[in-house]
Chain A
Amino acid sequence: MIPLRRFLHTPEAIAGAILLTALFAMALSASLLFPGDPQAIAGPALLPPFQDWSLPLGTDRLGRDVLAELFHGARTSLAVGLAAAAAALAVGAVVGTLAGFAGGLVDEMLMRTTDAFQTVPSFLLALAFVSVVGPSLGVVVIAIALGTWTGPARVARAEVLSIRERDYVASARAVGMHPLEIAFREVLPNALPPVLAMSSVIVAAAILTEAALSFLGLGDPNRVTWGGMISEGRAVLRTAPFLSIVPGIALVLTVLGIYLAGEGIVETTAVRRGLS
């Protein structure tokens, strides 16, 4: 467990680990602690927090249990964040590897397409995609991935450009491996580390984008989302600001935890690489 001890070396990384553990615990225990529909009415509307201990954080405008919504919202945030980031990293790595390894016209076309995706504000693209296809969890994931694969693609391409001239690639060519096989079995795995180093930032960005989409009413209507909760609370911002503040704090802590843990991991691996 030496890597773990090295990872927990800085107070920042420890804080990040604690926040992420709490988040995962919330997401995984949501249906155990709060079985049933979190969108069902649980009590009187707009019950302030800390009044009734069966509803610790009170209820929202429609009488739904805020704490239950918070737990189920953690689930949506985490699922969408991880799925969108995984999709973005996979597409980015493949596109970047193809562009860097093939070169020439293929490279030019793929990179101009990357430029085009980077030129359109990713949030507007996600907004348009969800609005055209219709809001559901899968569509939201694709919409977010559409705007985030470009960064990993650029990093992967730059890495592949330096790898493809190495000796082991030349020897793979010499033994007659198919170019695609070289690209995906020899080059891609070696180009992955810097791409994966971006994953914490991408997961964080995906969670923030999901929240913003649901805030604007484009989240999956059948799921509780923190962004949707904030949007709901906005209607009673003057009388019950608590309803928009709580899910917002959950969002901030989640994203902060991901950043801190991500920095910790990058530092740990950097130290390891420095030692070897």
Chain B
Amino acid sequence: MSGRTEGGTRARRFCSSSRAADAPMTRALALLRRRLVGSVFVLLIVVIGTFLLLEAAPGDAVDAYIVSTGGDAGMIELLRHRWGLDQSELARLANYLWALLHLDLGQSVTFSRPIRDVILERLPNTLLLMVSATALSFGLGSALGIYAGARPGSLRDRFLSIGSLALYAVPGFWLGLALIIVFAVGLRWLPIGGIETLASDKTGLDRAADIGIHLVLPVSALGFIYLALYLRMMRAGMAEVWRQDFVLAVRARGLSRRRIVLAHVARNALLPLVTMLGLQSAQMLGGSVVIESVFSVPGLGRLAQEAVASRDTPLLLGIILVSAVLVIAINLLVDIAYAFLDPRVGASEAGA
């Protein structure tokens, strides 16, 4: 991570020349294959884990069904048999895995619909929230980090560093409430919650603008917390790059400070942040649970909270599985992006 030198930058230029144009592609594919195999194992462990949690939950699907519909002991017996719940643990795990292979997450008792459909319906809202919040935290965070790290030890560096630490200490849900108090209740500038105005028949751009306005506060609450993370990482990375010999060499070439900061120091400190983007996706998903319930955004997180409230464990575990798949997919994308950005990554792995 700290090994980025001028040589690395040059190597990247070399790789993007036409002679080696196919190299990143091959490396990315090799990396993808390796990671996919690993991901299958990881996912299997997650599935077994969720299955164990499901088993540990008091009551089973039949109990939940009977509570909502009513029925006698014979009915319970019949349903247990029909749903395969009277079989051994291992047989049930096999059934569970078999169903998952067919993308069948089971039936939600609260919604009386397949869990997969309920989750797919909510997923876009969460993705929209996550992508916007990530863009905000990564964009603004790294920009402020560059601004602070350009002059290490300066007043603005110290100020931003402490400010970001304070921001990082704020619980997301509380920041959300504070934003609601100021901008929705006090100033009445923005809606208090929801994803769009209910019962409005807006279409096209009008509807997009409406959703955008509703997303301002939740995206800020989610994004601002992680902004501090990227700011601090950028700043720390730049401090490390400043100490490297090549910076002295670039200085000796007489480049302007602005150019040194942007083209050399910040550029070399940016790569670890890309990795962080993938690692943070799991945290971001977890954070969206609380933010979505503060702002009543009908997404995956709010669904998780509803599942907890109505004791719908299969639904909750379905959400966990889908989140795990999402996190694995995001990290794969980040790895591939990394292979394109940094020519050294994957070169050795592809050869192995």
Contact = CB atoms under 8 A, between A and B. Distances in A.
A269 interface: no
A123 B287 contact: yes
Interface string B286-317: 11011001000000000011011101010011
B308 A118 contact: no
B239 to A, nearest CB: 14
Interface in A235-276: 237-238, 241, 244-245, 248, 251-253, 255-256, 259-260, 263
Contacts of B46: 116, 119-120
B301 to A, nearest CB: 8
A215 interface: yes
B310 to A, nearest CB: 10
B171 A123 contact: no
Contacts of B53: 128-129, 132
A112 B290 contact: no
Contacts of B328: 119
Nearest to B158: A12
Nearest to B186: A241
Nearest to A241: B181
B305 A116 contact: no
B282 interface: yes
A236 B260 CA distance: 53
A80 B323 CA distance: 26
A131 B173 CA distance: 20
Contacts of B100: none
A237 B324 contact: no
Contact of A237 (B181, B283, B287): B181
A227 to B, nearest CB: 8
A59 B44 CA distance: 50
A115 B38 contact: yes
Interface string B5-48: 00000000000000000000000000000000010011101100
B282 A127 contact: no
B169 interface: yes
A248 B177 contact: yes
A218 interface: yes
B178 interface: yes
Interface string A195-237: 0000000001000100110011110000000010010001001
A12 B162 contact: yes
A121 interface: yes
Given A128-B317, A237-B177, A241-B181, A208 B171 contact: yes
Interface string A109-141: 000110110111111110111011100000000
B174 interface: yes
B304 A212 contact: no
B180 interface: yes
Contacts of B279: 118
Contact of A131 (B174, B178, B308): B308
Given A115-B42, A216-B308, A127 B316 contact: yes
Contact of A259 (B38, B56, B165): B165
Nearest to A215: B173
B174 A248 contact: yes
B89 to A, nearest CB: 17
A113 to B, nearest CB: 6
A225 B43 CA distance: 35
A120 B320 contact: yes
Interface string B162-191: 100110111111100110110001000000
Contacts of A129: 53
Given A115-B42, A122-B283, A244-B177, A252 B166 contact: yes
Closest CB pairs A-B (n = 7): A123-B286, A121-B286, A116-B45, A255-B169, A248-B174, A256-B169, A121-B285
Interface of B: 38, 41-43, 45-46, 49-50, 53, 56-57, 162, 165-166, 168-174, 177-178, 180-181, 185, 279, 282-283, 285-287, 289-290, 293, 304-305, 307-309, 311, 313, 316-317, 319-320, 323-324, 327-328
Given A121-B289, A238-B185, 15 more contacts: A115-B38, A116-B42, A119-B43, A120-B49, A120-B323, A123-B289, A127-B304, A128-B50, A133-B56, A204-B169, A211-B173, A212-B173, A216-B305, A245-B178, A248-B177
17 contacts: A112-B45, A115-B38, A115-B45, A122-B283, A123-B286, A131-B307, A131-B308, A132-B57, A204-B169, A212-B171, A216-B289, A216-B305, A218-B308, A230-B174, A241-B185, A252-B169, A256-B165
Interface of A: 12, 112-113, 115-116, 118-125, 127-129, 131-133, 204, 208, 211-212, 215-218, 227, 230, 234, 237-238, 241, 244-245, 248, 251-253, 255-256, 259-260, 263
